[in-house]
Structure 1
């Protein structure tokens, strides 16, 4: 079930709004990738708390507070089940290497190394039964990886 800031699991109610919103976005993405709700919620909560404590910039927190009733799912119609049939791309990112579903507006994960990003993309693609498209730093396609699903 996709969650929003108006409809979310009770376990998220005591989180600060930016953390709750980030947890909802992460949990929704995990559900789209095939995770069970019972597994997605605690992982998303942990990752959202980690994001707020270590990775969130002031601008990101301000943006979350400005749009506090709108989750990524509310704002991005391309983040739903229709991405389940899309390939996962590994692309260069300012913080390392990112994994991004084809057609998605935001990356789903950022890794320090290209190898880590490829492994994560393979996990997601295998869950969805799609392929991984690995890009060079300049954006051109380096190779395609079939996941066997």
Structure 2
């Protein structure tokens, strides 16, 4: 299994976690929050990014768990 960015997308009856380019959802959840929690765990484990889409399909939030080429200075 390759590491791919995870997307939280609207799904019939709830929200789905889908790997980028995947035909099928990794998991389906009743609430967007539950899907985000599941997707964030996958992204964290794989060192990839999490993209949260709104009901309109537009990306509304992005969460990176990979190696950031521009980490915050601090």
- The bucket for the TM-score relative to the shorter chain is 0.7 to 0.9
Q: Structure 1: which 4+ aligned runs deviate by more than 2 Å?
A: none
More contact order relative to length (CA 8 Å, sep ≥ 6):
2
Question: SS of the residue aligned with 2:42?
Answer: helix
Q: Which has the higher helix share?
A: 1
Q: Structure 1: any 5+ residue segments left out of the alignment? A: 1-80
Is 2:50 the partner of 1:135? no
Q: Determine the structure 2 residue equivalent to 1:35.
A: none
Structure 2 length-normalised TM: 0.84
Structure 1 length-normalised TM: 0.43
Q: Which has the higher strand share?
A: 2
CA RMSD, 1 decimal: 1.3
Q: Structure 2: any 5+ residue segments left out of the alignment? A: 68-74
Number of residues paired by the alignment? 67
Rg (Cα) greater in structure: 1
